[in-house]
Structure 1
Amino acid sequence: MRNKSKITTLESKFPLLSIEQGCMVSKDADITVAFRVELPELFTVTSTEYEAMHSAWHKAIKVLPNYSIVHKQDWFIKEDYQGKLSDGGLSFLARSSERHFNERPYLHHSVYLFLTKTNKQRMAQQSNFSSLCRGHLLPKEITNKDEVMKFMEAVDQFERIINDTEQIRIVRMTEEELIGTKEKGGLLDRYFSLSEEGHASLEDIRLGADLVRMGDNMLCLHTLSDTDDLPTTVSTDSRYERLSTDRSDCRLSFASPVGLMLPCNHIYNQYLFIEDSDANLERFEKQARNMHSLARYSRSNQINEEWIQEYLNIAHSQGLTSIRAHFNVLAWSSDKEELRQIKNDVGSALALMECHPRHNTIDAATLYWAGIPGNAADFPAEESFYTFIEPALCFFTAETNYKDSLSPFGIKMADRLSGKPVHLDISDLPMKKGVITNRNKFILGPSGSGKSFFTNHMVRQYYEQGAHVLLVDTGNSYQGLCELIHRKTKGDDGVYFTYTNESPISFNPFYTDDYFFDVEKRESICTLLLTLWKSADEHITKTEAGELGSAVNSYIELICADHSVTPCFNTFYEYLRDVYRKDMEKRDIKVTLSDFNINNLLTTLKQYYKGGRYDFLLNSDKNIDLLSKRFIVFEIDQVKDNKDLFPVVTIIIMEAFINKMRRLKGIRKMILIEEAWKAIASANMADYIKYLYKTVRKYFGEAIVVTQEVDDIIQSPIVKESIINNSDCKILLDQRKYMTKFDGIQAMLGLSEKEKSQILSINQNNDPNRLYKEVWIGLGGMQSAVYATEVSMEEYLTYTTEETEKVEVMNRAAQLGGDIETAIRQLAIEKRNNKKK
């Protein structure tokens, strides 16, 4: 029996001839320029931005000459996240995080664009004249060099138009990226192996009528090649119900169901064939006349005539360009059962676009062959349909998965769709790009929203990257993390200060190690003294502020000249009482008590002088060693209800941080203030807060305020003027508890409708198989997205604020002689094992 199988080499059938001057040249003299395309991130694009992208593609395509082909190819390849477990420099928590995410599956999305110049004859050829069907290929010669020059000029214009948009960027691909090197395969190699890695030479290819197979992978092809398969209406974007509410809209591109939302290995091909539009319309006019002549014999002819007339009317009335288009989804699997499931998934995705899913087995081989980068001119003409540029562009994918920040510094968050770790820089890179002008952050989230988890997660990673972190807490949120650092550094770091009557926090506002008092130091002392003197509802006159400033300056001159005077509040009080008050009486221009009541000042401040109730606060004989300690927590829960003590203690800590900040040059510093900010959000303290925020920015630092009381935010103008307006990074957690008050929050924070929609989508569609909570991060009103705060069991046990879990960790640590790391490791293993059961 004669063997009918036809075996040939890829080399003999390969349709491409060479790459010349960055262009792919086919053996049929077609020229292709290839680009890599960068799209905006998923769930971050508004309807207006989708329309802007659609308009940019339209303008760019209009500049291409006749008989050009636009081939956009989206690759979605299943990959597993590779944890950096071999990195010896990872901390205990960082390593547990890498282990938690190791082998996490996700879709890797790559987008390529191919602009091809061919001729009228090639564009009209059908599948039976594909280069795949011909016995041998003879390279043809390019005869019209002028057309080539015009095409290359049009490509330059195309590139400029697209890159002028804010959302899309295209970059020309190099020869190495297309054909590869000895070490790494190029795009052509990857197409024949259907993987991001690998070489086509290792894979056998079967192109048959019943089956198309690449190595072990069997192909499944769904096409949109007939107007009967298309929806009645199309749009640039559609509402994604799972992340939308009755007050907000989450938008995705019209073609998103066959993009990242389709969880399998697949390539989505989008073809636009730019022909002679006038010639097309003339041919349709002729067809319409023929249909009209035959209308009396067949109702279908009458209907076809009406459709053609409508097409012509729209084309002429709106000045639209007649083109041909085709779209297909090429999916694959090595398992037949899985392939059957994939076939159903692709069909469902197309049905979500209101398209009629057509599983194509007839032209699968030729369509796969035409999908070779640079071989779009080999596309079979009968598989395309006539349309206009605008509706065809609605089938373009317009978003990609989350991208890592191109910065060595940052925090690890997770992609909200797949859970893949994302490296996110919310401090340095946005500052460098001009997205933000300061690194300060404002965090708002109700109780139970995962606020303390996120802040623990953030400050831990800042600390591990060399930052000095100072935390002002009122609820033991950071006790576990601080204890872990303290134990790991053998007491050299991770200092936990708690205010107690036996050991209160004390401070010396007049201390400097070198007797240097700059303007900012003097102003901070004045602000502290004014806060101690005046209550929040009392007005401070210009004379009072000026006289107190003069007193501080005079005292500083005294201690700088006479080092026998100990700089502290006690000696300042004595100077004010015994020297400055008498000097005021001797002045030619008298200062009345109504202008500056120094007696009232001395009476009010007496409780901080020796023998007073709070004489310990401002007369410390030793300075808290903040300089060498990189992780410090001040837990001041004991004094949060003391209206006299709480503001002063808070200011003391902030002043101590500023002193540390001045002395550490070129080192990142962070101060995070939890609910303690309410103690300093008074009219008297507004200048001090502004000063703190301004100073932090200058010294490579950032101030972070965390709150959960939305009413305090809305009702306090001080918060808006001093904190919110000086925080370019805003971080919000689940706001569903504040849904009725959200309009006020939106106005206060200056959030756009896009940002509002993103925030209200938080935790709306969480994966039940993963334990995480989502958080919205906005940078300067220019960049914003929702991320998942997903942590390992070890991190969870470190960060938890649940009393029973904290007690369990501490008890286990006590049993192990205080070794909290081993306690956390043991409990994490036990809990994971229990979960598996």
Structure 2
Amino acid sequence: MIVVLALVLVVVTTVVLQIKPPTDTSKKLESIIPIYKVENDAVVSKNGDITIAFQLHLPEIFTLSPEELDAIHHAWVKAMRILPIGTILHKQDWYVDMAYKGNFNKEDHTFLSYASEKYFHERPYLDHSCYLMLTLPAKGRRPASSVLSNLLRNSFVPPQALNPAIYQHFLDKAGQFEKLITASGVIRSSKLSTADYIGDERKAGVLERYLFLAPGGKAPEIKDITFKPDLRIGENHCQLYTLGDVENLPSVCSPKIQNEKYSTDKTKFFVGFASPVGQLLSCNHIYNQYVVIQDPLKETKQLEAKRRRMQSLSNYSRENSISRDAANDFLNEAISEQRQFVRAHFNILAWSDDAGEVKDLRNKVATSLTQMNVVPSLEIKGAPQLFWAGMPGNAADLPMNETFSTFSEQAICFFNQESSAETSIAPVGIRLADRITGKPLFVDLDLAPRANGVIQNLNRVILGPSGSGKSFFTNAYMRSCYEQGAHVVIIDVGHSYSGLCSLVNGYYFTYEEKNPIRFNPFYISVGDTLDTEKKESIKTLLLALWKKDTEIFKRSEYVALSNALTAYYVYLDANATVFPCFNTFYEFFRDDYAAILEAEKVHQRDFDINNFLFVMKPYYVGGEFDYLLNATENLNLLEQRFIVFELDNIKDNQVLFTAATITVMQLYINKMRKLKGIRKVILIEEAWKALMKEGFAEYIKYLYKTVRKFYGEAIVVSQEADDMIASPIVKQAIINNSDTKILLDQSKYQNKFDQIQELLGLSDKEKALILSMNKANEQGRKYKEVFISLGGTVSKVYRTEVSPQEYYTYTTEQTEKTKVQQLAAIHGSMEKGIQAIVRAA
């Protein structure tokens, strides 16, 4: 079935393509368009050229190591060797200014997520798409030249263009080429279909998109195309810069180039050689890359003739002698290294709909080319022919006098190998922002990495000194986990999560003189049961409060407590008015259970009930700690999805700290075992250092090795790298069982980062990424950058940029926190208090 390029030919019947001065007659595009038909997902030109195209998905910029950039370059070189002689490889990278469109359906959002959506609405970013087109020119086709444009020449389709055998052979070669460049998995591709070429009334195809410079995914819009006095497409003023003259090109090239802004004294930060004219060129532009496969015998013959000619003229001019030596070196390298002869051309088509921005546009493009050591060359006379050759399927009309001879290795150095950051479609993760533009991205730290085998567990280590933005990142991540249905338990010192906890109506356990910390391990909340796990947790707590660390309890004492708990809950079932807490347990133990022990003739040496009652009396009514185990609120710990234990004020109090840590341990284990199919997160902030002193180390070891089996994730946060290095527990239990490493600004540790690198098992690529953070932040924006490594194989840097509402929720500045709390009290809720302070700011 033949599908003619109907849409283009219909919608452009009123389009005027001026190819001469305005005084001359203009032409209709339909009368000169070089495309004959689109058939079997391929384009056939009126000259008989066949084009097969792919859309490429390139790796994200700033994520490739020098070795990976070299590997991609090698893959292109290898793939290019299988293309037939005469094939034209046309790679076209589109960069279009776009604006993020927020979703303002409040049913899809919480207070903070809606605020974030409004904050990022209309945030400009550069949208990238890449197309690879392989063109097989018709046999015997006359090479194009800028002297005579094919726009003015009528053509008829040669019979061989309709030969299915020729098409099938070329299709096979194109398929082999695609497999070779995507074999490593770094580059993904998809073959363009007929619909992709011609589009429809809702979406422009690649042909219409190029002719009218239409944004991707938009409906086709008819525009005039004018070449004189300047190149204009509709309202867009265009500038065309070329890299087609050897004299204007750098003396050396490489697959990579050092980015000075992100490099340090200790590390070199590399990007692709062509990145300055790719993702780093912040304007609307198309980067066209052409490589024409040459006949090696013919090229060698021509170069030998040139060498002999220069040899004969070398006595007359030093330039001739230099040209002779260059030709000789070129031939020697071609033969000794088995190089592939190609002709290459590169150009940048930049545009703006504002005539006043044309000067700035020229400066941006010229600066980017200068970064590649390329002399900028603005094309004027040859612009129409080069623009026409850039049309998908018309690469054979590239003027050969605009190309230069080289080897495929050198030509591919000028290929753009990187793309913009991609957002995840997974339902779990955290919202961050693109490092270059600030476009909001959803970063999946769970589903896709596990499905792809990148990580084996969800445990994380977060390292960031004071002022690095650590609290903002951890608050944002905990909020994301909560909003996505996870149960969150946080052990904190410093009140970093009080704002978020208040906003989501979570439980906040902290110690104040007027409102001391309270628990109730005896209460069985809705959804919980008195199982072995529950009884063991209460026994562990009672033994810890009864016996010193140096005292060893007897088996008979353990049994006595176990029997007492069983009898107590039988007693509660029979007396519904009795509230379960330590007070009623103590009374039951003193009155009822004492009688049971006496009836059973239990000797004092086996269980000293008087000693137990005496030691535990401070936790009973009227005792020093009578509040500790008798809470009457915040009791539904199993079902509550956001719980914070603030231990800063009790970390030096043996009794309170012991009770709190045991409660946290048993709470999370209870959630871990009973909440099946639900994600459970435990975040241990700087408290882990105090916890290590109180026997919490073994629990953390157990936790990090076990949570994976229960859909749980354990996260440890540390401020000082020395603390992590000095702690064997952190090194052996936590780091070795954490597949995700998250680091914030480490510039203060730059001179001793080798220790951190060794501790965390970071690669040199990751080291360069980490030390590049916050070195070139966008002016006028307030944010910090964060480095995330998944399994040591996927490593990226993002912005942690938040809305004002999120900022005042997460802030740890005491004056700001106090002001938010005061306004929350005045207006009746945390949300209204935050809105008030944002309006007043």
| Shorter-chain TM band | 0.7 to 0.9
Q: TM-score, normalised by structure 2?
A: 0.87
1:496 paired to 2:508: yes
Q: Map of 1:400-411 to 2, 5 A cutoff?
A: 400-411=419-430
Residues of 1 paired with 2:756 and 2:349: CA distance?
A: 46
* 3-state SS of 2:838 partner: helix
Post-superposition offset of 1:666: 2.4
**Distance verdict in 2 for CA 1:241–1:748, change over 3 Å:** same
Pair 1:684–1:86, CA change in 2 (3 A) = closer
Give the alignment partner of residue 564 of structure 1, picking from 555, 559, 570. 570
Amino acid at match of 1:660: K
Contact between 1:531 and 1:685, CA under 8 Å: does it hold in 2? no
Q: Matches of 1:236 and 1:5 in 2, distance apart?
A: 46
**Residues 78-111 of structure 1: CA distance to partner in whole angstroms, max 9, x if unpaired?**
0111111244432222222111111111111111
Further displaced range: 246-255 or 733-742: 733-742
Structure 1: which amino acid aligns with 2:816?
A: E
1:120 Cα deviation from its structure 2 partner: 5.9
Question: Does the 8 A contact of 1:266 with 1:331 survive in 2?
Answer: yes
| 1:459 alignment counterpart | 478
Q: Aligned pair 1:728/2:709, yes or no?
A: no
Indicate the residue corresponding to 1:517 in structure 2.
Answer: 532
- Contact (CA 8 Å) 2:486, 2:678: kept in 1 or not? yes
1:794 partner SS: helix
Secondary structure of 1:738's aligned partner: helix
Is 2:357 aligned against 1:338?
yes
**Corresponding residue to 1:307 among 295, 307, 326:** 326
Q: Would you say 1:237 and 2:248 are equivalent positions? A: no
Contact persistence 1:794–1:828 (CA under 8 A): yes
Q: Residue 149 of structure 1 is aligned with which of 168, 171, 175? A: 168
Letter of the structure 1 residue corresponding to residue 717 of structure 2? V
Give, in whole Å, the separation in 1 of the partners of 2:130 and 2:313.
47
Q: CA deviation at 1:280?
A: 0.7
| Corresponding residue to 1:84 among 103, 126, 132 | 103
Aligned-pair distance for 1:684?
A: 4.2
SS of equivalent residue, structure 2 residue 240: strand
Are residue 102 (structure 1) and residue 117 (structure 2) matched?
A: no
Residue 835 of structure 2 is aligned to residue 825 of structure 1: yes
- Report how far residue 606 of structure 1 moved: 4.7
- 3-state SS in 1 of match to 2:109: coil
Post-superposition Cα deviations, 1:717-752, rounded to whole Å, max 9, x if no partner, equal 111222222222221111122234322222221111
Classify 1:102/1:563 alpha carbon distance in 2 versus 1 (closer, same or farther; 3 Å): closer
Q: Write the deviation string for residues 178-230 of structure 1: whole angstroms up to 9, x where unpaired.
A: 2112321111111112121555561111234x422211112211111111111
Cα distance change, pair 12–627 in 1 and its aligned pair in 2 (3 A): same
The one-letter amino acid of 2:329's match is E
Higher deviation after alignment, 554-563 or 344-353:
554-563
SS at match of 2:64: coil
2:429 and 2:443 in contact (8 A); partners too: yes
CA pair 511-4 structure 1, distance change in 2 beyond 3 A: closer
Q: 2:5 matched to which residue of 1?
A: none
Matched, 1:700 2:711: yes
Counterpart of 2:518 in structure 1 is 505
**C-alpha displacement of 1:618:** 6.2
- Helix, strand or coil for the counterpart of 1:788? strand
Deviation at 1:128, TM superposition (A): 4.1
Matches within 5 A, 1:405-424: 405-424=424-443
Shift of 1:775: 1.0
The offset of 1:307, in angstroms, is 1.5
Q: CA deviation at 1:392?
A: 0.8
1:664 Cα deviation after fit: 2.7
CA distance in 2, matches of 1:523, 1:277: 80
Unmatched tracts of structure 1, length 5 or more: 486-492, 587-597, 832-837
After TM superposition, the structure 1 = structure 2 runs for residues 354-753 of structure 1, keeping only pairs within 5 Å, are 354-485=373-504, 493-500=505-512, 503-508=516-521, 513-517=528-532, 556=562, 564=570, 606=615, 624-682=635-693, 684-753=695-764
**Secondary structure, counterpart of 1:639 in structure 2:** coil
Name which of 63, 76, 80 aligns with 2:82: 63
- Equivalent in 39, 47, 55 of residue 20 of structure 1: 39
The residue type paired with residue 340 of structure 1 is: K
1:206 aligns with one of 217, 223, 226: 226
Map Cα deviations across residues 541-598 of structure 1 (whole Å, 9 max, x no partner). xxx89x86x97588658856995378989799999x9899989999xxxxxxxxxxx9
Change in 2 beyond 3 A, CA 1:803/1:616: closer
Distance 1:162 1:527 in 2: 61
Once the two structures are overlaid, the 10-residue window that deviates more, 281-290 or 558-567, is 558-567
Give the conservation status (yes or no) of the 8 Å contact 1:67–1:123. no
Deviations 1:369-399 (A, max 9, x none): 1111111111111100000011111101111
Kindly tell me the number of residue pairs found equivalent between the two proteins.
798
Go from structure 1 to structure 2 and tell me whether the alpha carbon gap of 1:509 and 1:65 turns closer, same or farther (over 3 Å shift). farther
| Identical aligned residues as a percent | 44
The Cα of 1:266 is off from its aligned counterpart by 0.4
Residue in 1 aligned with 2:4?
none
Structure-2 separation of matches of 1:565 and 1:402:
62
Are 1:281 and 2:287 counterparts? no
Tell me what 1:834 maps to: none
User: Aligned partners of 2:766, 2:441: CA distance in 1, in Å?
Assistant: 20
Say whether 1:35 aligns with 2:54.
yes
1:259 Cα shift?
A: 0.8
- The SS at the match of 1:795 is helix
Letter in 1 for 2:834: I
Q: 1:204 to 1:498 in 2, by over 3 A?
A: same
- CA-CA distance at 1:407 after TM superposition: 0.9
Q: Corresponding residue for 1:10?
A: 29
Residues 555, 572 of structure 1: 8 Å contact kept: no
**Cα distance change, pair 561–219 in 1 and its aligned pair in 2 (3 A):** same
Q: Is the 8 A contact 1:19 1:25 kept in 2?
A: yes
Structure 2 SS opposite 1:483: helix
Letter in 2 for 1:204: D
1:346 match: secondary structure: helix
Alpha carbons of structure 1 residues 647 and 229: separation in structure 2 relative to 1, 3 Å: farther
Q: Point out the more displaced range, 805-814 or 97-106.
A: 805-814
User: Structure 1 CA distance, aligned partners of 2:601 and 2:796?
Assistant: 58
Q: CA deviation at 1:300?
A: 3.1
Q: Cα distance 1:298–1:241, how it changes in 2: closer, same or farther (>3 A)?
A: closer
CA–CA separation in structure 1 for the residues paired with 2:95 and 2:458:
36
Q: Could you tell me how far 1:305 is from its partner in structure 2? A: 1.7
Query: Structure 2 unaligned runs (5+)?
Result: 1-20, 573-579
Q: Does 1:759 align with 2:766?
A: no
Gap change, CA 1:621 and 1:337, over 3 Å in 2: closer
Q: Which amino acid aligns with 2:521?
A: N
Mapped pair 1:324 → 2:343 = yes
CA contact (8 A) 1:15 1:137 kept: no
Q: Cα–Cα, structure 1 residues 697 and 178, in superposed 2: closer, same or farther, change >3 Å?
A: same
Change (3 A) 1:805 1:201: closer
Equivalent residue number for residue 814 of structure 2: 803
